[in-house]
Amino acid sequence: MASSSSSPSVPAIPSQSWKYHVFLSFRGEDTRKTFVDHLYSALEKWGIYTYNDDETLPRGEAIGPSLMKAIEESQIAVVIFSENYADSSWCLDELACIMKCKDTKGQIVMPIFYGVDPSEVRKQKRKYGEAFAKHELENKKKAKSWGQAVVEDLWGWLSTPREQNRKYQEAFAKRELENMTKIDSWKKALVDASNISGWEPKKIANGHESKAVKEIVDAISQRLQLVTSSSNENLIGIAARVQGLKLKLQILSGDVRMIGIWGVGGGGKTTLASCVFDEIINKFDGSCFVKNIREESSKYGLEKLQEKILSGVLKQTHVPVIGRIEEGRRIIADRLCHRKVLIVLDDVDQLDQLKALAGSHDWFGKGSRIIITTRDVHLLNAHRVDVLHNISLLNDDEAITLFRKLSPQDYRPKEDYERLSKEVVSYADGLRLALAVLGPFLCDKEIDEWMSALARLKEIPNDDIVGKLKISFDGLTKVEKDLFLDIACFFRSWEKDDAMEILDACGFHPVIGVKVLIQKALITISDGVFDMHDLVQEMGHYIVRAEHPKNPEKHSRVWGKNIAKICAIDARTELDKIEAIQIDHSHLVCAEHLPPIVANMKNLRYIKWRGDPANPMLNNFPSRELCCLTLHGGLQKQLWEGCKLLPNLKIMELHSLHNLIKTPDFAGLPHLERFKLYHCSCLEEIHPSIGRLERLVFVSIEHCYQLHMFSPITQLKKLETLSFSTCHQLFNLSKIQQNIENLTPLHLDISGKECCLDESFLPYNNKNQVQKWFFHNMQELSLRKLDLSWCNLGHEDIGSDILELPNLQELNLEGNEFSRLSFGLLRLPRLKYFNVTNCQGLVELSELPSSVAVVQADLCGSLERIGDISNCKWLWKLSLHRCDKVDPLDGYILLDSMLKV
């Protein structure tokens, strides 16, 4: 495209369907040998391919097909309005054609007012008014002469007048109307063109034409560069994305609108903004695309970017020198508040940048659009932009098409090309940047080189890709970086709630930090599960390994195959760099070496140990910093001997330790908050010291078939959740005192009728009554959650005593056998969640409390009726999947009731 050198160059040929860069429309006798001559020479010098309209060629009354085609094939039309421009019907026809191309083909129109004021052109005053008066008079004269011509004889002499018939009269009237319509189209074209922000050479550099020409050529060159950059033939899938963004922009709306494009680095935010900018630029009085604000502002300051906006929008080289940001804010608001402008602020990473460059809607004129690209959606929310647009990555079909374009056919390895191409596309996972980097890199390599490169990329990602993605990471605080690295290394694909428990136990206070990571497009939460882009995760792994790629003992986090390398080091080596580790024994052949090595990890805060560790295992376990201990699988009968001090341990989870008979002494775990015990099939006893853990909040015990007693828990002042499930031998849950000071609401989930309660658990008089109605008199404990799912409960098993739970919020009766409820749900005023899924005998739900938000009644094959829900003002989900006996009409009535609520 346009050359950056000052030396003459051969004009480049425009890309795509454009044949010319520029078409010049001008009145020859006014400007051909002066201003236009200088302008044409300057455009040619800078390699801008310009249509040369040779006015010496003979002309008819209308512009010919070849000239019309030249206009249509030009990217930019430069119209030079001079004193006698409107005298020429030829020039006016050109202008009408140009404005039509602007509307239909996206042609860029750039007006120059040479020796005339824009208002003269717009309002057809002075010379322009006189010219149109002549055109209208000539039109009338033509119509008259046509009529006169009909009564003349073939020799040209006036003969006896012949009566003109009606067809001639109609033809003359039609022709006169067509000419008047053409004149009206000329006027409209003049108005539309003069409303576009342009140049007045006499006002540039005190009227020095050479300087005016230079400014105009610079502007044309810049516009061509922007158009060319977004016309890249490799922009697969961009058209639909452009249309989606244009719909959100609502171009025809007269309000000022700011829209923010956000998403992961390298996802195509700048590309999308550039393409939309080029498509709609002609609909605005002025425009400016400010690239790389993050880098440019740090290099040159926001003041320079403010000057750039003024220069770009106003098309002026010389704008006020801005010394202070506040001064720039005032000047931008003052100069642009009456202009309809299009501004793109690309790669914003600080709120101060938005405040300096587009501080408020009222800085800009009606109909203005401000497009912002960023990795951080928080900035957009804080600046109160009108619309958020999350960038969509390439789907598989788009990605494979793009990759094929980027790796030319001549260079593709024929053998296994398709399979390897799909591997590359899978690795890139929809990221344009990754494909743009890898396509050219791999295109001329042999099949073995492709395989080697892909294997290496999974260990050492490409620097260009990592560098782009790492920008978001570098902007995080220390705690946020630790959160991100923990999720990238350990918790991707984890349930959010489970991972948050661990991150909170490690002291990260993760609620606000996770929100920041989401806002910066580093992680997502989908269906309650942590997720992130594959390359973002690889970037996290790379950061952990970066300084010592071959020495995992010096990493902050260790997982996967690096565990085997840890096994191979000297057991006496200090390992104070390691903070978190996940061990899977299925990948180890030297498992017996690991326990003493782990004992040297003095700063270990999190460990998940999965497999078949040595027995005994944890006698020399690191203790001081450990916050979370998860053991999954193993043959040991005990974890450690005696009382072990783990002063900071907050979470302990023991899973599938099938030989474990008893839990360790809890006396050395003063800060334990959450204790989970799952599938320990031989466990008989939980150490009674658990009842003295004053900070314990959550206890969950499942599938411990031999467990028969749970110790007194009279000192568990903070206990909120006590859950037992499928503990068939559990026959005695000892006393919970109800007069404990500050007792928080207790969630009790006892799944299975075989679990009964001792009469000392609550003040019962009849033990048999306890076994049947174990929720009786529990209102004093503020029970909020009750799970009686799959307990084979019939109609006689559920009585009105459940109404003794006025604070109940969640009631799960899934999979039971009752046909109706013998109590009124209306008397549970705080009930929010109600589940009767798979209750095959249930015929009717007669009433629901106004507090309920979710009702699950799927797979209730006998259900016929549901009562009035018009008072359920919080109800947002009523699920009746495969309830075949519910009348469809009743379903519509229910839906209508929900919509009205």
Report the alpha-carbon angle 367-371-373, nearest 5. 170
> What pLDDT score was predicted for residue 158?
42
Asked if residue 261 and residue 149 are part of one domain, the reply reads: no
**Residue 655 has which token pair?**
């899973």
Whether 882 maps to a domain, the answer reads yes
- Tell me what the mean pLDDT of segment 370-385 comes to: 95
Please state which of the ranges 41-55, 117-131, 244-258, 278-292 shows the lowest mean pLDDT.
Answer: 41-55
Whether 498 maps to a domain, the answer reads yes
Please state which of the ranges 246-260, 287-301, 800-814, 867-881 shows the lowest mean pLDDT.
Answer: 800-814
> What pLDDT score was predicted for residue 604?
94
Element (H, E) at 638: none
- Tell me what the mean pLDDT of segment 405-419 comes to: 65
**Residue 238 has which token pair?**
């961009």
Asked if residue 864 and residue 806 are part of one domain, the reply reads: yes
- Please list, residue by residue across 240-249, b when 16 or more beta carbons sit within 10 angstroms of its beta carbon and e when fewer do: ebbeebeeeb
Q: What is the pLDDT of residues 756-768, one digit of tens each?
A: 343 344 333 332 3
The owner of tokens 């209730």 is: 860
- Sequence-ordered strand ranges (E) for 394-544: 524-526, 529-531
Element (H, E) at 128: helix 126-150
pTM of the model: 0.61
| Mean confidence (pLDDT) of the chain | 81
Q: What is the CATH number of the domain that holds 173?
A: 3.40.50.10140
- Alpha carbon dihedral 613, 614, 620, 626, in 10-degree steps, equals 10
| pLDDT at position 412 over 70 | no
- Tell me what the mean pLDDT of segment 661-667 comes to: 90
> What pLDDT score was predicted for residue 161?
43
Angstrom distance (rounded) from CA 634 to CA 703 = 16
| pLDDT at position 862 over 90 | yes
Whether 203 maps to a domain, the answer reads yes
Whether 806 maps to a domain, the answer reads yes
Whether 808 maps to a domain, the answer reads yes
Asked if residue 379 and residue 364 are part of one domain, the reply reads: yes
Q: Higher pLDDT residue, 341 or 280?
A: 341
Q: Among 768, 793, 810, which residue terminates a domain? A: 768
Confidence class of residue 666 from pLDDT cuts 50, 70 and 90?
very high
**Residue 453 has which token pair?**
């490169």
Q: Among 390, 424, 449, which residue terminates a domain? A: 390
Please state which of the ranges 172-186, 325-339, 656-670 shows the lowest mean pLDDT.
Answer: 172-186
Q: Higher pLDDT residue, 179 or 181?
A: 181
Q: Name the CA radius of gyration of the chain, rounded.
A: 39
| pLDDT at position 724 over 90 | no
Q: What is the CATH number of the domain that holds 381?
A: 3.40.50.300
Asked if residue 32 and residue 87 are part of one domain, the reply reads: yes
| pLDDT at position 90 over 70 | yes
> What pLDDT score was predicted for residue 737?
46
- Report whether 232 contacts 431 (CB < 8 A): no
Asked if residue 243 and residue 209 are part of one domain, the reply reads: no
> What pLDDT score was predicted for residue 743?
41
Asked if residue 377 and residue 351 are part of one domain, the reply reads: yes
Angstrom distance (rounded) from CA 683 to CA 368 = 70
Q: Which amino acid is at 813?
A: L
> What pLDDT score was predicted for residue 727?
73
- Tell me what the mean pLDDT of segment 343-358 comes to: 96
Report how far apart, in Å, the C-alpha atoms of 101 and of each of 69, 225, 239 are.
Answer: 11, 20, 20
Whether 5 maps to a domain, the answer reads no
| pLDDT at position 878 over 70 | yes
> What pLDDT score was predicted for residue 489?
96
> What pLDDT score was predicted for residue 452?
82
Angstrom distance (rounded) from CA 373 to CA 268 = 10
Asked if residue 756 and residue 800 are part of one domain, the reply reads: no
> What pLDDT score was predicted for residue 703?
85
Asked if residue 240 and residue 158 are part of one domain, the reply reads: no
Q: Among 390, 411, 443, which residue terminates a domain? A: 390
β-partners of residue 709 are 685, 732
Confidence class of residue 436 from pLDDT cuts 50, 70 and 90?
confident
| pLDDT at position 279 over 60 | yes
> What pLDDT score was predicted for residue 838?
95
Indicate the number of domains in the chain.
Answer: 6
Q: Which residues contact 60 (CB under 8 A, 6 or more apart)?
A: none
Query: Phi, psi (5° rounding) for residue 750?
Result: -115, 105
> What pLDDT score was predicted for residue 432?
85
> What pLDDT score was predicted for residue 258?
97
User: What domain range is 408 assigned to?
Assistant: 396-459
Asked if residue 51 and residue 131 are part of one domain, the reply reads: yes
| pLDDT at position 115 over 70 | yes
Asked if residue 195 and residue 107 are part of one domain, the reply reads: yes
| pLDDT at position 564 over 70 | yes
Whether 594 maps to a domain, the answer reads no
List 72, 83, 94, 814, catalytic entry: 94
Asked if residue 702 and residue 663 are part of one domain, the reply reads: yes
Q: How far apart are the first and last CA of the chain?
A: 61
Confidence class of residue 410 from pLDDT cuts 50, 70 and 90?
low
**Residue 561, burial from CB neighbour count under 10 angstroms (0-12, 13-18, 19+):** exposed
Confidence class of residue 753 from pLDDT cuts 50, 70 and 90?
very low
653 assigned to active site: no
Report how far apart, in Å, the C-alpha atoms of 822 and of each of 131, 644, 758, 800, 813 are.
Answer: 94, 52, 26, 6, 13
> What pLDDT score was predicted for residue 716?
75
> What pLDDT score was predicted for residue 273?
94
| pLDDT at position 736 over 60 | no
Asked if residue 47 and residue 154 are part of one domain, the reply reads: yes
| pLDDT at position 270 over 70 | yes
Report how far apart, in Å, the C-alpha atoms of 611 and of each of 606, 649, 656 are.
Answer: 17, 22, 10
| pLDDT at position 110 over 90 | yes
Whether 12 maps to a domain, the answer reads no
Q: Higher pLDDT residue, 206 or 174?
A: 206
Angstrom distance (rounded) from CA 766 to CA 645 = 43
**Residue 551 has which token pair?**
């020495």
